[in-house]
């Protein structure tokens, strides 16, 4: 049964695909409104920009011929802007580690030459300051503690935001004096740069998918398949950015997208400085031990959303989870792999419920970072709290539904847009 936040907006929907889909629709539409139930005016808004951060395999707003990561055939960023919110969409390395992605996110927002840090690059053996990663037209150059931002991450984007929060705060030695200011000097920005952190379908505690698969490149291909990328074709320049300049890995002449993906994963999958490691349950636990509320910016509010689209099926020896009828066909095999596997790692020690998933990530992993750290969450009651994760509930959507990729009818698209409008209303109401 879904747990719904308090102070809900009432919206009527139509043209629902099924009763099951209706449950997901209602869950999204009852997303909390402004705390205390007060109406929000333009003067009440904190006016902090909202920055959207994509997950594993994601892409920028100018790529894939305009097919948006955030929205698919429509554009969540532009819908929010039309409603009066200041919103930007970031683009970081789709397969890079959270450290590398967080560094890129910092300079993409603030501006300047990407610098991954001398110690980090010596440890992992990649280029420190790739020439091709210079941001001269940043998203929000005035960003500082007096001009904070809201960061919203889908999937791995949530982990990336948390890493950035640790690099900004500099509470632990590895995160101190890594970033550079506008003059190029190393500095630790400190707390206050982030107003809020929101994670959507984020594998805070890893996903069994990356424990169980022996072909992570196929997962990347599946995500690109949603955007109908021709895996057998050669990727044209500017169509999709793999952004692996720090590793000096680039497409070779005549190499297809599938061949290039496989080469990337063959070269990097054994490295702890690559996405595959931190998306596994063991890698996520190590990540949580280093990046948590004790090392991140404690002044930021934290919100988490979980999604699921599997159904529990009792068997004599176990409770297994199978995809329901609304699951994106591209994710049926991955949903089954997570939901049926007899041997899976359960980092939260919760038993068969760990198998519930959205086609890519275990649903219980999305609530908060718990394995490997002392972070906690509470079910949101209408009053945002700091120092804890505000868990906003579990909604009946698959991993890509929630960012608009399979919303076919106008009514379905309107529902997703309303979800993000409600989220923006909540974020900009924060004190």
C-beta of residue 28 within 8 angstroms of C-beta of residue 419: yes
The active-site residue, picked from 54, 396, 399, 405, is: 399
* Distance in angstroms (rounded) separating the CA atoms of residues 54 and 63: 13
* Distance in angstroms (rounded) separating the CA atoms of residues 47 and 329: 40
Q: Are strands 149-154 and 134-135 parallel, antiparallel or unpaired?
A: unpaired
Q: Are strands 194-200 and 149-154 parallel, antiparallel or unpaired?
A: parallel
Residue closest to 424 by CA, chosen among 65, 82, 10, 54: 82
271 is a catalytic site residue = no
What is the four-CA torsion angle of 45, 51, 55, 59, rounded to 10 degrees?
A: 140
CA geometry: angle at 399 spanning 158 and 305, to 5°?
Answer: 50
Tell the burial category of 419 from Cβ atoms under 10 Å away from its Cβ (0-12, 13-18, 19+): buried
The owner of tokens 């999937």 is 155
CA geometry: angle at 100 spanning 99 and 103, to 5°?
Answer: 85
3-state SS, one letter per residue, for 47-110: CCCEEEECCCCCCCCCCHHHCECCCECCCHHHHHHHCCCCEEECCCCCCECHHHHHHHHHHHHH
Task: Name, in order, each residue with C-beta under 8 angstroms of 276's C-beta and a sequence gap of 6 or more.
Answer: 210, 216, 265, 268, 269, 283
The active-site residue, picked from 155, 280, 365, 429, is: 155
* Distance in angstroms (rounded) separating the CA atoms of residues 234 and 257: 6
429 is a catalytic site residue = no
Phi, psi of 351 (to 5 degrees): 80, -150
| Length, in residues, of the chain | 431
54 is a catalytic site residue = no
Burial 142-180 (b: 16+ CB within 10 A, else e): ebeeeebbbbbbbbbbbbbbbbbbbbbbbbeeebeebbb
Contacts 24+ apart (CB under 8 A), 373-378: 373/288, 373/289, 373/292, 373/293, 373/294, 374/292, 374/293, 374/294, 375/288, 375/292, 375/293, 377/304
The active-site residue, picked from 358, 375, 398, 401, is: 358
Residues recognised as catalytic: 155, 358, 399
């Amino acid at each position: 049964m879904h747990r719904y936040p308090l102070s809900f907006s009432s919206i009527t929907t139509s043209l629902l695909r099924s009763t099951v889909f209706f449950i997901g629709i209602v869950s999204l539409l009852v997303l909390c409104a402004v705390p205390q139930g007060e109406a929000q005016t333009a003067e009440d808004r904190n006016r902090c920009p909202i920055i959207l951060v994509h997950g594993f395999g994601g892409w920028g707003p100018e790529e894939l011929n305009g097919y948006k990561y955030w929205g698919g055939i429509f554009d969540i960023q532009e819908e929010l802007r039309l409603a009066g919110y200041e919103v930007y969409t970031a683009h970081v390395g789709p397969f890079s580690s959270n450290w590398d992605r967080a560094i890129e996110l910092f300079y993409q927002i603030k501006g300047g030459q990407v610098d991954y840090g001398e110690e980090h690059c010596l440890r992992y053996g990649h280029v420190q300051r790739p020439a091709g990663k210079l941001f001269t037209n940043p998203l929000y150059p005035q960003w500082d503690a007096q001009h904070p931002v809201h960061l919203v991450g889908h999937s791995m984007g949530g982990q990336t935001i948390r890493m950035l929060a640790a690099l900004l705060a500099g509470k632990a030695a590895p995160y101190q004096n890594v970033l550079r200011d506008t003059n190029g000097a190393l500095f630790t920005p400190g707390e206050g740069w982030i107003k809020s952190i929101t994670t959507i379908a984020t594998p805070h505690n890893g996903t069994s998918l990356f424990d169980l698969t022996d072909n992570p490149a196929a997962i990347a291909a599946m995500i690109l398949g949603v955007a109908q990328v021709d895996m057998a074709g050669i990727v044209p320049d500017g169509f999709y950015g793999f952004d692996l300049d720090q590793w000096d890995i680039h497409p070779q002449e005549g190499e297809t997208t599938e061949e290039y993906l496989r080469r990337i994963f063959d070269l990097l999958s054994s490295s702890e400085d690559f996405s595959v490691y931190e998306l596994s349950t063991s890698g996520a636990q190590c990540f949580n031990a280093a990046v948590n509320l004790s090392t991140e910016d404690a002044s930021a509010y934290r919100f988490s959303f979980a999604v699921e689209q599997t159904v529990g099926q009792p068997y004599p020896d176990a409770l297994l989870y199978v995809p329901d009828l609304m699951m994106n066909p591209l994710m049926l095999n991955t949903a089954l792999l997570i939901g049926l596997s007899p041997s899976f790692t359960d980092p939260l020690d919760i038993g068969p419920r760990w198998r519930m998933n959205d086609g890519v990530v275990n649903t219980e992993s999305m609530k908060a970072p718990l394995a490997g750290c002392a972070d906690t969450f509470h079910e949101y009651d209408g009053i945002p709290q700091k120092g804890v994760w505000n868990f906003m509930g579990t909604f009946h959507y698959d991993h890509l539904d929630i960012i608009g990729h399979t919303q076919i009818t106008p009514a379905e698209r309107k529902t997703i847009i309303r979800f993000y409008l409600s989220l923006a209303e909540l974020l900009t109401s924060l004190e």
